[in-house]
């Protein structure tokens, strides 16, 4: 929900051609317009403030932050492509370390909890092919189970970076049915304590070429994988 609210706030800034320093409506206006809880709105504002897109002045309200520039309405600009590349490459380093640690020290109860999370995603996706789970939901849960707080904090930053990308870009590279199958395979390798196989699966899961192919397809005007998945009656392959 907070991801959707963040997208709505970004769209409001762009559609109203607001510039850094312009004042945003009070919180109650967005609560009424978006029909969301105060906690969801504040989480979205926190993410946007971290990215410099919104500035909160206590006692005075919310303002457009310095991170908003003239190209913020672009769907596939060079800045976002580089951000996606950097995000994927950084995730690779973090998640290779995470699955190595997970294969070595996750307990059976830890693994069972992760399996429940993944199967919950599977049920939601089967009922609604357009369903998308919270960004890096599985990865954050896995890293938290390893007990490595440094890796967890970095992954939270990467989650926030993903949220900073435009909703259109995220939808165009979203392959939730495929990602679900890959999460299951990674978890099976961890359960069998096969760290090297888990590492290979993570490298395939974070295949930069796949993301870039999706972006090229989106530019050519073809439906992105998220739109294709939404039309399929069976999301899993």
Q: At 61, give phi and psi (nearest 5°).
A: 110, -165
CATH, domain 2-64, list 1.10.443.10, 2.60.40.350, 1.10.10.10, 3.30.1490.20: 1.10.10.10
Quick one: average pLDDT of 73-79?
Answer: 45
Q: Do 51 and 164 meet the contact criterion of CB atoms below 8 Å apart?
A: yes
pLDDT at position 105 over 90: yes
pLDDT for 128? 92
pTM > 0.75: yes or no: no
pLDDT at position 234 over 60: no
Distance CA 50, CA 123 (A): 33
Q: Report pLDDT digits (tens) over 164-211.
A: 776 667 777 889 999 999 999 999 999 999 999 999 999 999 998 988
Q: Do 115 and 187 meet the contact criterion of CB atoms below 8 Å apart?
A: yes
Q: What b/e string do you get for 200-230 counting C-beta neighbours within 10 Å, with b at 16 or more? A: bbbeebbeeeebeebbeebeeeeebbbeebb
Q: Do 53 and 11 meet the contact criterion of CB atoms below 8 Å apart?
A: no
Whole-number Cα distances in Å, 104 to 97, 108, 153, 155: 11, 12, 21, 20
Cα dihedral 125, 129, 135, 138 in deg (nearest 10): 20
Residues 6+ apart with CB under 8 A from 175: 210, 214, 225, 226, 229
pLDDT at position 232 over 60: no
The domain ranges of the chain are 2-64, 78-231
Q: Report pLDDT digits (tens) over 126-175.
A: 999 888 888 899 999 999 999 999 999 999 888 888 877 766 677 778 89
Quick one: average pLDDT of 100-123?
Answer: 97
pLDDT for 154? 92
Distance CA 8, CA 6 (A): 5
CATH, domain 78-231, list 3.30.70.260, 3.40.50.720, 3.40.50.10490, 1.20.120.530: 1.20.120.530
Longest alpha-carbon distance in the chain: 55
pLDDT at position 87 over 80: yes
pLDDT for 53? 84
Q: Report pLDDT digits (tens) over 16-72.
A: 888 888 999 998 898 888 888 888 888 888 888 877 888 888 888 899 988 754 343
- CB atoms under 10 Å from CB of 1, counted, come to 14
């Amino acid at each position: 929900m907070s991801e959707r609210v963040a997208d709505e706030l970004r769209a409001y800034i762009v559609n109203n051609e607001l510039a850094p320093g312009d004042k945003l409506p009070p919180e109650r206006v967005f609560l009424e317009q978006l029909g969301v809880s105060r906690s969801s709105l504040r989480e979205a504002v926190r993410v946007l403030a971290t990215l410099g897109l919104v500035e909160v002045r206590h006692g005075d309200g919310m303002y457009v932050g310095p991170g908003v520039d003239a190209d913020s309405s672009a769907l596939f600009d060079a800045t976002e492509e580089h951000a996606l590349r950097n995000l994927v490459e950084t995730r690779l380093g973090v998640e290779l370390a995470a699955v190595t640690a997970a294969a070595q020290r996750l307990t059976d109860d830890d693994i069972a909890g992760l399996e429940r999370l993944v199967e919950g995603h599977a049920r939601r996706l089967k009922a609604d092919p357009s369903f998308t789970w919270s960004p890096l939901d599985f990865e954050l849960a896995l890293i938290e189970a390893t007990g490595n707080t440094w890796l967890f904090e970095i992954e939270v930053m990467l989650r926030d970076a993903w949220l900073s990308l435009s909703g259109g870009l995220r939808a165009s590279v979203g392959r939730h049915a495929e990602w679900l199958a890959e999460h299951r395979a990674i978890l099976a390798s961890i359960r069998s304590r096969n760290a090297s196989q888990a590492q290979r699966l993570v490298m395939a899961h974070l295949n930069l070429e796949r993301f870039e192919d999706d972006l090229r397809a989106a530019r050519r005007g073809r439906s992105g994988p998220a739109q294709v998945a939404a039309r399929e009656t069976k999301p899993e392959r």
